Structure 1
Amino acid sequence: MKYDALLVQSFGGPEGPDDVIPFLENVLRGRNVPRERMLEVAEHYQHFGGVSPINQQNRDLIAALEVELKEHGVDLPIYWGNRNWTPYLVDTLQQMKADGVGHALVFVTSVFSSYSGCRQYREDTAKAQAEIGEDAPRCDKIRTYFNHPGFIETMTECVNESLAQIPAERRDAAELVFTAHSIPLGMSENCNYVKQLEESCRLVSEATGHAKWRLVYQSRSGPPTQPWLEPDVCDVIRDLAKAGASDVIVSPIGFISDHMEVLFDLDTEAKDTAAEVGLNFIRSGTAGVRPRFVQMIRELIEERLNADQPKLAVGTMGPSHDFCPADCCLYTPQRPRPA
């Protein structure tokens, strides 16, 4: 299929103290999240000068990807649009239209399928296209890559680096904890989020040869009356210490870069929890701009440009679909907590 641009679509984040509250109001608009919780999250950003690292990480990824595409003869200009902060998606699509872009591939900076990580991005695109009107660029989302060998190899590299930091005599007993953003059960039950996460964790664990692993969640933001995926990473750290563990490696497999949920929720809160209970805490790296991950994005682009290009996937689930079905990642909000 012919495409004339690549759009990197992401979440967005504040770039100064005055941006924090407006940004969070964008994120939480229409959601039943108490204002006290919003202010609590705002304080997390202020710990870092009101600047989310996600925007610079996207700039770095785009720069690395431009080099990768050029070196392999893939001639696609790269654009960048966010859901919740500048550059806003609608402005980016307007610029693409002005530049003559008619049909773009879209790389979403979210690995796993859920309403927030898949369908909502497609809804954002449709809304922006409707605002622009006639001749808005067509946009096709690249398939999810939770079991692409490039992602698995990248995360395996990160975990192996962490395992190497533990003395050999304690390494086999170390607990490997994979984390991902918690989502409401009403969301998780209508998508393959948990199934995909479990497959990725299993594949990475097998590749490292480390059998002691578990999947946990972090960063929940909903009201207490709404059930979300559990267990929470900090609760698990406490439980591991009670069970006699000495070392824990926390791999944020649900995130492709070290943005706020990693820097605060893991590098601050989870690390502090581990220190309180006397557990050696090692936070594993994210994909970021590691060469194999950037190469993977190029491979995903090439498979859409060339019908003869093989769709790479490892494990038992096979490559994900190229085009989402109508009921993909639907969300039924406001599920009551079981009695």
Structure 2
Amino acid sequence: MPGHRAISKLARPPLSLPKADLSRRPLGQRSHNVFQSRNMAAVVPPVMQGSTGSKGPTAMVFMNMGGPSTTDQVGDFLSRLFADGDLIPLGRLQNYLGPLISRRRTPKIQAQYAAIGGGSPIRRWSEYQCAEMCRILDRVSPQTAPHKPYVAFRYADPLTEEMYARLLDDGFGGGKGGRAVAFTQYPQYSCSTTGSSLNELWKWRMRLEGRRAGVAGPEEGSEVGGGAIRWSVIDRWPVHPGLVDAFARNVEAKLAEYPEERRDKVVLLFSAHSLPMSVVNRGDPYPAEVGATVYAVMQRLGLSNPYRLVWQSQVGPSAWLGAQTSDTVQQYIAKGQTDLVLIPIAFTSDHIETLYELDHEIIGEAGQEGVKRAESLNGSPVFIDALADIAKKHLESGHIASKQMGLRCPGCKSERCLEQKKFFMEQQASL
């Protein structure tokens, strides 16, 4: 889950994918780093209403924080990020402190992006992952095909409103109906990440399609409600077997780099973005869901190594969830434990928190050959297959969202959160 550093890496204009349909190859023949070697993202032609599947077409919308494409975009990215009280709660002074903090931090963060190539790769990875998932879905779920990939970022292009305008241009909504799935790319739910993205989606749905559009009717494809887009949500997936297997394989690959006699003594440090304790104490489910992912991965590994869950990217002087990743690495090294593998357990691709904070700051400054990082999920075919499986089961379920999404945090006082949840839960009730 990201905070100020989840200012991910480079997002160039999309290029065409390789001709080979990677999703159709046996897993063993698909290169784990194919996207890194090609350095390309997907271009997919628009899907219009009236296409093939009896329940299609279906828009698949990947939601994430996003990141600046270039160093020149860092200021705008930080301005949006620090203006979001769901992510970084600054209280009544949010409108004053947010711009002040973002302006002061911009030069430092620009330098960090320059150090990792000039921008964030999260857009390219997101577009690639979503396009590949949709290729698989077209094959395994023909009744909801064709599946059209979209990306909606909270703080960077393509912003949620840009994505929504594209949906309307492509023939979804606007009196034509059609189905769209908001697929969070935060595997573990937090009100500050998935919740914030859904609040933004709800806001633009109301602005661009209007309250009078109401909710979809009970029949599949019904245009009751003015032909608005029928939204459903994949709001969390912390222990999906494919996600767990993808993480475990990356850990196994990294452990294989250690001599056999040291391998089972390597300490695994699962690192996730921290949360302010004010959010944790409000009842946010994120810490528990991250812990569930960690334990599921360790079970898949046969509890082969000692491990800890640690937290990175604290911002500001207030109390945050710990122990901090940087402190933990330094403290273990001081105790003589110099074989450590860092595992970014709450991220689905590389960005500033992996490429700069973990690689440059924590591992680089540790100065120990035994301190390494497991590869991020990125173009892992195991991970992309998992995304397709999650989406297919969701499409078949008929559910609008999980039951857990309808439950507010016990300490929640956000009217925006309340209205957003009511919107999705009312759609569920209509079914």
What TM-score, normalized by structure 1, do the two folds share?
A: 0.86
Q: Tell me, what secondary structure is at the counterpart of 2:104?
A: helix
Distance 1:51 1:97 in 2: 29
Q: Among 354, 357, 371, which residue is 1:265 paired with? A: 357
Instruction: Compare 90-99 and 262-271 and name the one that shifted more.
Output: 90-99
Kindly provide the CA deviation profile for residues 174-213 of structure 1, in whole angstroms up to 9, marking residues without a partner as x.
1100000011112223222111111211121222232300
Query: What are the superposed Cα offsets for residues 141-194 of structure 1, whole Å, 9 maximum, x if unpaired?
Result: 114111110111111101101111111111121110000001111222322211
Contact 1:178/1:216, CA 8 A, preserved across alignment? yes
Q: Quick check: 1:117 aligned with 2:193?
A: yes
Match of 1:133 in 2: 209
Alignment match, 1:198: 291
Q: In structure 2, what is the Cα distance between the partners aligned to 1:149 and 1:10?
A: 21
Pick from 161, 169, 172: which aligns with 1:98?
A: 169
Task: Report the identity percentage.
Answer: 25
Q: Which amino acid aligns with 2:350?
A: D
| Cα distance in 1 between the residues matched to 2:64 and 2:394 | 20
**Is residue 68 of structure 2 the alignment partner of residue 7 of structure 1?**
no
Q: How big is the alpha-carbon RMSD for the aligned residues of Structure 1 and Structure 2? A: 2.5
Matched letter for residue 67 of structure 1: R
Q: In structure 2, what is the equivalent of residue 246 of structure 1?
A: 338
CA–CA separation in structure 2 for the residues paired with 1:331 and 1:262: 31
Deviation at 1:327, TM superposition (A): 1.1
Q: TM-score under structure 2 normalisation?
A: 0.69
Paired residues in the alignment total 319
Distance 1:307 1:113 in 2: 20
Residues 331 and 257 of structure 1, relative CA distance in 2, 3 Å threshold: farther
* Mean CA deviation greater in 245-254 or 35-44: 35-44
SS in 2 for 1:215: strand
| Larger Rg over CA atoms | 2
What is the aligned partner in structure 1 of residue 71 from structure 2? 17
1:220 aligns with 2:291: no
Amino acid at match of 2:190: S
Distance 1:266 1:272, change over 3 A: same
> What residue in structure 2 maps to residue 315 of structure 1?
none
Moved more, 176-185 or 28-37: 28-37
Runs (4 or more) in structure 1 with deviation over 6 Å come to none
2:20 maps to what in 1? none
Contiguous gaps of at least 5 residues in structure 2? 1-53, 85-93, 173-177, 214-227, 415-431
> Structure 2 CA distance, aligned partners of 1:247 and 1:72?
43
1:327 to 2:408 alignment: yes
The amino acid across from 1:180 in the alignment is A
CA deviations over 1:199-254 (Å, ceiling 9, x no partner): 21112122223230000011122x20x11111111111111111111310000011
- The 8 Å contact of residues 150 and 296 in structure 1, kept in 2 or not, is answered as yes
Select which of 129, 150, 168 maps to 1:79. Answer: 150
- Matched residue SS, 1:195: helix
User: Aligned partners of 1:294 and 1:330: how far apart in 2?
Assistant: 36
Question: Secondary structure, in 3 states, of the residue corresponding to 2:62?
Answer: strand
Contact in 1 for aligned 2:265/2:305 (Cα 8 Å): no
Q: Does the 8 A contact of 1:115 with 1:330 survive in 2?
A: no
1:188 maps to 2:280:
yes
2:395 aligns with 305
Aligned AA (1:327): R
SS at match of 2:193: helix
Q: Secondary structure at the match of 2:61?
A: strand
Residue 205 of structure 2 aligns with an amino acid whose one-letter code is Q
